[in-house]
Amino acid sequence: MSESEELDELKEEEATSEWLSFALGESSYAVDILRVKEIRTWEKMARIPNSQPFILGLINLRGAIVPIIDLRLRFGLEQRERDRETVVLVMTVMTEDGEKTMGIMVDNICDAVKLTEDDIKSAEKFDLAIAERFVHGITDIRGAMAVLLNIDSVLDTIDF
Amino acid sequence: MAKILTVDDSGSMRAMVSHTLSEMGHDVEEAENGQLGLEAALSTQFDLIISDVNMPVMDGITFVTNIRKEANYRFTPILMLTTESGQDKKGAGKQAGATGWIVKPFNPQKLVSLVNKVLK
Amino acid sequence: MSDPMERFKQVFFDESAEALTAIEQHLLKLDLSDVTPDVIDDIFRSAHSLKGGSATFGMSRLAEFTHFMETLLDMIRAGQRSFSQQVVDCLFECLDCLRNLVNHYQFEEEVNTGLIEAVEAKLQALIDDKEPGTTTDTTESSQTGIAMGKEWKIGFAPEPELLLSGNEPLRYIEELAEMGKISVQCDTHSVPSLAELNPIHLKLSWTITLSSAQIISVEELKDVFLWVEDEAELSYTCLDQEALSIPDKTDIPATASEPQNTEQTQAKSAAKPSVKKAAEAKKSNQSIRVEMSKIDSLINLLGELVITQSMLSTFNNVEQFPGLARLQEGLGQLERHTRDLQDGVMQIRMLPIDFCFSRFPRMVRDLCLQLGKEIDVVIEGENTEVDKTVIEELTDPLVHLVRNSIDHGIEMPDEREAKGKPRKGVLKLVAYHRVGNIVIEISDDGKGLAVEKIKNKAIERGLIDEQAKLPDQTIKELIFSAGFSTAESVTDLSGRGVGMDVVKRNIQSLGGQIELRSEENVGTTFSIKLPLTLSILDGQLVKVMGETYVIPMLAIIESIKVSRDDINKIGQHDISFKWRSQFIPLLNVAETFALPSNGESIDDSMLVVVVEHDSHQFGLIVDELANHQQVVVKSLEANYIKIDELSGATILGDGSVALILDVGALVNRLKVH
């Protein structure tokens, strides 16, 4: 048993949450894994007229009409040609009118990490270039900083 | 476990009776009126029949009278659901061959105890 | 709703609604000169079920009220009271009370105590009015004396036929055993010899001695034998009477040795009931109750099936798949079955329009009483079926139109007579199907719309210009404009702030249209055309810049090729073209939706879909017409937000999403620009 595995096991004793990390360009982000319904590759979407630029369109998810959001554009980053690694994370979002399903398009997914409450640090001191309400905190994943996202704010339909 | 038939035109009553008795572990079948009750009783042998009195198509009294004519149901307990104001119906029910009656309103506990009275 | 009791309550509420409708229907159809026992039985049964259910589910106020109703109806049934106009009127009022009480328990609506008490008093008065001596007081003759003790001797001598009512004597003895220690003596002296023995004739009797740790009352013992008290000779003798402080009663013997003196319940011959055969084996429309959500999920699944099926049908390359011919046969069959299945499932949600129409006779009756008008309601095509959701949305607009006809349309009887019309006006409600739509007409033979009056009012309200030369029909249709009302006095019928504009908007939001025909002094007809269902739409697929959109067929008049030269432009924008000798506005879908252009088209003609909304025509410029097909409408709000120009989305055969255009919203967009 390696040292890190041992550590992981120790952590399990405490209250842990699991996060799925992904990249947008150079930056790392992560979302609560319990909110990730499924991971899909890019597919053709129906464009929505006169919508915000970050709304890519609508897909058919087993009979449900689900909007897909380009997370890069949502965060004010520049658009990027999609490639083989581009994926769509289908998320459960809690809104005022109840639970909705929406997808976010990200550059690639990295891995799933277990975090204890102590692992999650406040992001207050940092200018993360995205709205504060989007951010749950920051953490260290393999030595690099990852921004933990508050997905309900990121996908708040008020901004749509 | 007994096979029980509940005959009532009121779905809520049927559902209540059926749910309560199913909880006791019985196998309950429902029928919406006497006519359908008769059909059900002739295709399955029940150990107990619980029937309402006032029903469309075929009322409870006629239903009981008819079912008692069947050799298979000569000794089967049949309970009728009556209301406190329907005293005359008790007589009619007995005359038709009912074993006993359950006075509405009743709660599930009461139903359980009365059903236990006829099912050992 | 996981609590089963709550679920049963829900079923009870559904039943109540049905029971109320049933009573109302009967009352409305009632011919007092010829009231059949069936009708009374039916009304009685409805009230009776309401009472049973409400008492069971602890809705005491409702149970109490229905008890009054039931008592009166029972007397009518027994011929003790006649079915008079007074009774009918009172029963109508009872309906209002019942609705209020049901709503109280279902939706926490406030109980209208004043009304209910008043109606209860009326019921009581009708009940008390009975001939003397026919009291239906059913309280049991009071028990004589209280007998209690711990030691009892019980004599139980059943009639020979006891077994034939499904009773088992041992059960009762066992039940006694649960109350204390028993010793049982069985008397077999009347059992005949084996040769004469009839096994179904009970010739046994028992004497049971019960000794209990607790004091047992004679009522408790009688309770045990309650069901067989008429079929057995029963005696209860208390053996330890002196142990009790209860004063002695004459019917409790001092000694146990003299059973002759014990309180006896003789087998009485039960009153001969008139066992009525159901008058006619009425073929009841059998139905089951299903939650809407279950049907909706079925419809969703079906949508999936339709998509899968159409996906499969795209494999049609015979060279590539040699076995395809046979497969295609199967696919053809699958397609037919899928379509049938879809029709079938949609049918489940369909209800006869009667669900909506049935309220009107009562409403008209009440309004007539209030206004002193005389109106007959004629209903045709009440069995025409339409989706439940459409019925729900349709009810309010129809109520408004009917109120409107009664209030403003049909004249007072004297006024009608003076005009040479029959005193009684006629309000007609008609429903029928026409090519995938339902048409509902509400017409009256009243005074019709007065063109001059409307025109003046419209000028007054600033809706039209004084100089404007408008055709009569256009003026009449001004009543649909916001803020228009011809009511001279605001009665409590109309003038509720809900105008015809709201009615029209409601109909349009259902994807329907409303038309108006009116002639002064002849009458007014409103004709409403609606899709049969809101979840499936008959659509024309069009392509614009590679995107597929659906235009509701109901809105389309025609699709035509228009030469570029015939399109009037201002700058780069296509503005209008001449259609049937009139200029109609044009809307370029690609431009409106800001779709990225894939280069200037070189065609010298453009494809225009002429659509109509609100009797205004305009043209939509599209690239290509694709299939005409039924699509399943899915809401955008479920996971996203409402988009103005779209009424929803659908999933096409290839699994892709297509947006459904809201023609009305697009027109409004035109007006804005």
- The subunits that touch chain C, with at least 3 C-beta pairs less than 8 Å apart, are A, B
Per-residue pLDDT averaged across C353-375, rounded?
87
Write out residues 491-510 of C within 8 Å (CB-CB) of B: none
How does residue C192 score in pLDDT terms, banded at 50, 70 and 90? Answer: confident
CA distance A42 to chain C (A): 13
Asked if C367 and C377 touch (Cβ cutoff 8 Å), the reply is no
Q: What is the CA angle B64-B70-B76, rounded to 5? A: 65
User: Nearest CA of chain A to the CA of C554: how many Å?
Assistant: 23
Whole-angstrom distance, CA of residue C180 vs CA of residue C73: 45
C-alpha–C-alpha distance, residues A140 and B64, integer Å: 78
Q: What pLDDT score was predicted for residue A90? A: 96
- Which pLDDT score, from 0 to 100, does residue C341 have? 85
CATH number of A17-154: 2.40.50.180
Q: Place A28 in a pLDDT band, splitting at 50, 70 and 90.
A: very high
CB pairs under 8 A between A and C: 75
The answer to whether C97 touches C115, Cβ cutoff 8 Å, is yes
* C167-189 tens-digit pLDDT: 888 888 888 888 888 888 888 88
**Nearest CA-CA distance, residue B60 and chain C, Å:** 10
How many CB atoms neighbour CB C122 within 10 A? Answer: 19
Contact between C651 and A101 using a beta-carbon 8 Å cutoff: no
ipTM of this predicted complex?
Answer: 0.87
Largest CA distance in chain A: 56
- Which span out of B70-84, C134-148, C431-445 was modeled with the highest average pLDDT? C431-445
Cβ within 8 Å, pair B88-C4: no
* Structure confidence at residue A10 (pLDDT): 52
Q: Where in chain A are the domains?
A: 17-154
* C30 Cβ contact list (under 8 Å, min separation 6): C39, C83, C88
CB contacts of B117 in chain C (<8 Å) are 171, 175
Chains sharing 3 or more CB pairs under 8 A with chain A = C
| Greatest mean pLDDT among A17-21, B116-120, C456-460 | A17-21
User: Once rounded to an integer, what is the mean pLDDT over residues C441-459?
Assistant: 90
> Average pLDDT for residues B37-66, to the nearest whole number?
90
Say whether pLDDT at C451 is over 80.
yes
| pLDDT more than 90, % of chain C | 16
Smallest CA–CA separation between C643 and chain A, in Å?
8
How many C-beta atoms surround the C-beta of residue C385 within 10 A?
19
C494: confidence class by pLDDT, cuts 50, 70, 90: very low
Contact C369, C408 (CB under 8 A): no
Closest partner residue to C138 among B56, B87, B107, by Cβ?
Answer: B87
Q: How far apart are the first and last CA of chain C?
A: 50
Would you call A67 and C640 a contact, using CB atoms and an 8 Å cutoff? yes
Q: Is pLDDT at A62 greater than 60 in this prediction? A: yes
DSSP structure class, residue B71: G
Residue C189 near chain B (CB below 8 Å): no
Q: Do C12 and B77 touch (CB under 8 A)?
A: no
C in contact with A (at least 3 C-beta pairs within 8 A) = yes
Q: Are C163 and C202 in contact (CB under 8 A)?
A: yes
Which H or E run includes C661? strand C657-661
C377, amino acid identity: V
As given in the structure block, the two tokens for residue C399 are: 């109520």
Across the range A55-60, mean pLDDT stands at 94
| Residue C132: per-residue pLDDT | 40
Read off the pLDDT band of C572 (50, 70, 90): confident
Q: What pLDDT is attached to residue C492?
A: 41
Quick one: fold of B3-119?
Rossmann fold (3.40.50)
Question: Quick one: pLDDT at residue C495?
Answer: 42
Both tokens assigned to C452: 């001059």
What does the radius of gyration of chain C's CA atoms come to, in whole angstroms?
37
A57: Cβ–Cβ under 8 A, 6 or more apart, which residues? A45, A46, A47, A48, A67, A68, C657
Given the residues C24, C26, C67, C70, the one annotated as active site? C70
Record the tokens describing residue C659, joined without a space.
Answer: 């947006």
Residue type, C299: I
- Using one digit for the tens of pLDDT, what is the confidence trace for C119-157? 988 888 888 875 444 444 433 333 344 567 778 888 888
pLDDT reading at C51 higher than 90: no
C189 is catalytic: no
User: Cα dihedral sign for C145, C150, C153, C158?
Assistant: positive
Kindly tell me the burial class for residue C114, based on how many C-beta atoms sit within 10 Å of its own C-beta (0-12, 13-18, 19 or more).
exposed
Helix C292-312 vs helix C324-348: angle between axes, to the nearest 10 degrees? 160
Look at residue C430 in the predicted model and tell me its pLDDT.
Answer: 95
B touches C (3+ CB pairs < 8 Å)?
Answer: yes
Interface test with C, best of B4, B5, B10, B69 (most C CBs within 10 A): B10
Q: Please give the pLDDT value at position C107.
A: 84
Catalytic residue among C404, C437, C506, C588: C404
The domains of chain C, with CATH numbers, are 4-128 (1.20.120.160), 148-191+200-238 (3.30.70), 293-350 (1.10.287), 352-486+496-531 (3.30.565.10), 536-669 (2.40.50.180)
Is C456 catalytic? The answer is no
Give the pLDDT confidence of C331-344 residue by residue, as tens digits. 778 878 887 887 78
Average pLDDT over residues C356-375: 88
**What's the rounded mean pLDDT across residues A38-59?**
92
